Amino acid sequence: DAGITQSPRHKVTETGTPVTLRCHQTENHRYMYWYRQDPGHGLRLIHYSYGVKDTDKGEVSDGYSVSRSKTEDFLLTLESATSSQTSVYFCAIKGVAANEQFFGPGTRLTVL
Amino acid sequence: AQSVTQLGSHVSVSEGALVLLRCNYSSSVPPYLFWYVQYPNQGLQLLLKYTSAATLVKGINGFEAEFKKSETSFHLTKPSAHMSDAAEYFCAVSLYNQGGKLIFGQGTELSVKP
């Protein structure tokens, strides 16, 4: 257990509304990641962070922003949700060895 | 650019039979390679990893994988399937010094028949 929690675990929202997902870790890891999981695509990286206030884009970053104001929290924001952002979102942290990552339980987001 | 291809989105085996899940990667330099398992409605759990030490890697739950550089493959095997192995399996690749980003394959759903 890498001490990663995500909130909320489930959310239903309407198109055009802002949504913020939270990832919280308890073990002071430097690197944190947001992925989305969609059938037939595996997991795809949205954004990642390599320290407080240090973030970078991933493969599918359009329509998403992130913030990391303290080590333990990494927030993912959909400024104006669209139906194409209906997905399961996973947060991950990088362990100390060889780029291995440990994942949170996920957030299932439905945009109507 | 790195990429990962998992051959077969669905694999079905009988209980007690060999499990073979295929993964091929493309990378210009030797990568780190991983297999993750996802049980229904759960997050991903690390099964095993290749980090350029031994080419045959043993993981949890009796799974192992062999890194074959000449074939750019990292197939996952288990000699005897158990009902509890039914899950989705993901192969992933990462390069040193690229922020630890993982590139995933599309996943293979394993079904185990009694």
Closest chain A residue by Cα to residue B8 = A40
Q: Whole-angstrom Cα distance, residue A105 to residue A25?
A: 12
Give the burial class of A13: count Cβ atoms within 10 A of its Cβ; 0-12 exposed, 13-18 middle, 19 or more buried: middle
CB contact under 8 A, B90 and A45: no
Quick check: B44 contacting A, CB < 8 Å?
A: yes
pLDDT digits (tens, 9 = 90+) for B1-56: 778 999 999 999 999 999 999 999 987 777 889 999 999 888 999 999 998 778 89
Q: DSSP string spanning B59-114?
A: -GGG-EEEEEGGGTEEEEEESS--GGG-EEEEEEEE-TTSTT--EE---EEEEEE-
How many Cβ atoms from other residues are within 10 Å of residue A15's Cβ? 12
Q: Looking at CA atoms only, how far is residue B101 from chain A in angstroms? A: 8
pLDDT digits (tens, 9 = 90+) for A24-37: 999 889 999 999 99
Contacts of B36 in chain A (CB under 8 A): 103
pLDDT of A2? 64
How many Cβ atoms from other residues are within 10 Å of residue B16's Cβ? 11
Q: Which of B46, B49, B90 has the CB atom closest to A42's CB atom?
A: B90
pLDDT (average), residues A13-25: 97
Q: Whole-angstrom Cα distance, residue A36 to residue B103?
A: 12
Instruction: Tell me how far the alpha carbon of residue B9 is from its chain's centroid.
Output: 13
CB contact under 8 A, B49 and A42: no
Quick check: B43 contacting A, CB < 8 Å?
A: yes
- Counting one residue from chain A and one from chain B, the pairs whose CB atoms sit within 8 A come to 61
pLDDT (average), residues A54-75: 96
Give the burial class of B24: count Cβ atoms within 10 A of its Cβ; 0-12 exposed, 13-18 middle, 19 or more buried: middle
